[in-house]
Amino acid sequence: MAKRWWMIDKLSDSLESAKIDKETCGTILEGWDLIPQKPKPLERATWMKKVIDRMDSLLEEEIRFKVREDCACCVS
């Protein structure tokens, strides 16, 4: 199995910790298997924009903020 970009695991863990069901997680993370282990900046930005759009349409605001804060490296 190919290694995944670290952010995919971090985001997946954050969704799981927010108690998001597996089907919704799968929808939010759709396309993760196409992202290389070390994606180029444009690849990262394009995929993350899609993830954010999906989270905006599928999750309540409070949950979105929790998931995003869990993924943020600047929150201590």
Which pLDDT tens digit goes with each residue over 42-63? 998 999 999 999 999 999 999 9
What's this model's pTM, rounded to 2 decimal places? 0.84
Let me know: does 28 contact 15? Beta carbons within 8 Å.
yes
Domain-located, residue 11? yes
pLDDT single digits (tens) 15-46: 999 999 999 999 999 998 888 888 899 998 99
Residue with tokens 């969704």: 15
Range of the domain at 27: 6-71
Does residue 47 lie in a domain region?
yes
Whether residue 29 contacts residue 8, with contact meaning beta carbons closer than 8 Å, is answered with yes
Q: How many domains does the chain have?
A: 1
In a domain, 29, yes or no: yes
Q: Which residues contact 6 (CB under 8 A, 6 or more apart)?
A: none
43 part of a folded domain: yes
- For residue 76, being part of any structural domain is answered with no
What separation, in Å, do the N-terminal and C-terminal C-alpha atoms of the chain show? 33
Inter-residue contact 70 to 18 (CB < 8 Å): yes
- pLDDT confidence tier of residue 2, bands split at 50, 70 and 90: low
For residue 20, tell me if it sits in a domain: yes
66/49 Cα distance (integer angstroms): 17
